[in-house]
Amino acid sequence: MTNPQTKNGMLYLVSTPIGNYDDITLRAINVLKEVDLVVCEERKEGNRLLSHYGIIKPIAQINEHNESAASAIILDELKSGKNIALISDCGTPLFSDPGTILVKKAIQERIKVTAIPGSSSLLPALITSGFDMKQFLFYGFLSPKRENRILELQKLRNEKRTFVLMDTPYRLLQVLRDMSEVLKQSRKISVAFNLTMEDETIVRGFPSELYKHFSETNPKGEFVIVVENLK
């Protein structure tokens, strides 16, 4: 795998499964097999993924704690001619994950950056919600501090488009509680839980209904919340 236009290597942004290991493209596997280095957020998760597909590669780590320093080191590797794949713990890289600094630096240095598309929790959550998708807003993570989260939800309350929220698994009930308080019954939501897994669950209703449901079931896993457009 070479980049004939420059002596630099190429940076591949490789999408990986969000849960089900069957959800990976042939192209992604081929890229992971051929690059010189795989950069991941968590070394344990990166090793587990590569091991599942029988791929042995050197691994570097980039996360919220070392993103700036690690980006500089990886950029030097790219400039030396190495081809590098950036993956996240699951799904599409850079979506609420580290890597933006690296990509910006690579673009500034005129290093070619290409995406290997694949799994993402965003679109599956949207298309299974049953809500209008002509226009939608990806808001991402709310503040971990309740008072700030309440303020964010109050601003979003008047958002006319369908919008999408994500958060860490342990914060599902907190987010649903606050959505119940702020949104009340102004619009329905859909919670897509553990997408692509055997226990995949998609529950739709008003925030208070889903807060009650998940309080009783006390689930553990990844989730995406889709909030219905204002009608």
Express as a percent the part of the chain with pLDDT over 70. 97
Whole-angstrom Cα distance, residue 133 to residue 123?
10
pLDDT (0 to 100) of residue 6: 53
Domains and CATH numbers, the chain: 11-116 (3.40.1010.10), 122-227 (3.30.950.10)
Q: pLDDT per residue over 132-179, tens digit each? A: 999 999 999 999 999 999 999 999 999 999 999 999 989 999 999 999
How would you write 107-159 as a 3-class SS string? Answer: HHCCCCEEEECCCCCHHHHHHCCCCCCCCEEEEEECCCCHHHHHHHHHHHCCC
Whole-angstrom Cα distance, residue 130 to residue 204?
9
Q: Which residues contact 3 (CB under 8 A, 6 or more apart)?
A: 9, 10, 83, 112
Q: pLDDT per residue over 190-223, tens digit each? A: 999 999 999 999 999 999 999 999 999 888 889 9
Tell me the CA distances in angstroms from 121 to 58, 92, 111, 140, 146, one per residue in order.
Answer: 27, 9, 28, 12, 25
Decide if 164 contacts 156 (C-beta within 8 A): no
Q: Which amino acid is at 180?
A: S
Whole-angstrom Cα distance, residue 180 to residue 188?
10
User: What is the number of other CB atoms lying within 10 angstroms of the CB of residue 63?
Assistant: 15
pLDDT above 50 (res 2): no
